[in-house]
Amino acid sequence: MSIVEQISCPHCGAPIDFKPGEILATCKYCGYTAVVETGQTFTFEHSMIMNRFDLQTVEEPIHGWMSSGFLKPGDLARKSKISEKNLVYLPFWVVSIEVASTYKGVFERLTPAVVKEGKLEKQYDWLVLARKATEFPTREYEVPLEGKIPYDFRKIEGFAKVFNSEVDRTEAVEIAEQQIDDQHKFLLSEDVDKIIEFKSDYKVEQTVYLHSPVWFVNYEYKGKVYQLLVDGARGTAIKGDMPSTGF
């Protein structure tokens, strides 16, 4: 069991539970988000994406995923048993950022090799998962940001779990910058074979703390348990483990 600690909600005074490592904690009685360390109100934008499914209706996208695609066993939908369905509001930071990477590199596919210079400029709403130990394929997940509303605790289902943030805003921005640099270096590998200089300038426009609904589903097929993650806003599969078809 993890140790649970408490602070008082800066808004309604109710106890807010948090676990070691959590940096922001949201009051389940009034929806206020507090900074654990100081006990003060979190002053940045806190948003959420609404979930569209309940424990029954979520079976529809689950079965839809099971019965589509070539790589799955043909009897997957028929023979599987859903053993767990947990709705979790996962915390993310959405870092809206402009990044300009200037680079110099060697293009070695020609003889003689040529030195190329350039600049890569892009704008992102970069998603950073605000949990450290939670396994989640953030890069394969596209948050439907157009459905973003201010965080409203009344819209959180009683059976759902809301995870607190383990990553503060500064760290989230650093993670985003690092991941974007990696992405830019990957994009540059089209253009140069060896990077000799690389530097990025970042302009952070906005950071939003966001809770987004994800269904963590376990299903059993022929005695084994597999996991499927379903986007609670769209009903699409974010990532699904599946039994091998034997080929």
Footprint of Zn ion on this chain (CB under 5 A)? Answer: 9, 11-12, 14, 27, 29-30, 32
Beta bridge partners of 126: 95
Q: Which residues of 150-169 are buried (b: 16+ CB within 10 A; e: fewer)?
A: ebeeeebeeebebbbbbbbb
Task: Tell me if 126 sits within 8 A of 203, measured CB to CB.
Answer: no
Tokens 């609904």 -> residue = 213
Q: Cβ distance 34 to 141 under 8 Å?
A: no
* Minimum distance of Zn ion from residue 30's CB (angstroms): 3
Nearest approach, Cβ of residue 25 and Zn ion (Å): 10
Residues for the chain: how many in total? 247
For residues 243 and 246, what is the distance between their CA atoms, to the nearest angstrom? 9
Closer by beta carbon to Zn ion, 13 or else 137 = 13
Smaller CB separation from Zn ion, 14 or 115: 14
Q: What are phi and psi of 109, to 5 degrees?
A: -75, -10
Please report how close the Cβ of residue 86 comes to Zn ion at its closest, in angstroms. 24
CB distance 14 to 29 below 8 Å: yes
Taking the least distance from each CB to Zn ion, the nearer of 26 and 101 is 26
In the complex, the smallest distance separating the C-beta of residue 32 from Zn ion, rounded to whole angstroms, is 5
> Could you tell me the smallest distance in angstroms from the CB atom of residue 36 to Zn ion?
14
CB of 178 to Zn ion, least distance (A): 34
Q: Which CB, 27 or 58, lies closer to Zn ion?
A: 27
* Residues contacting 211, CB < 8 A, separation 6+: 26, 46, 47, 48, 49, 89, 90, 91, 92, 151, 162
Q: Which is nearer to Zn ion, 4 or 71 (CB)?
A: 4
Matching residue, tokens 């408490």:
6
Residue 16 or residue 87: which is nearer to Zn ion going by CB?
16
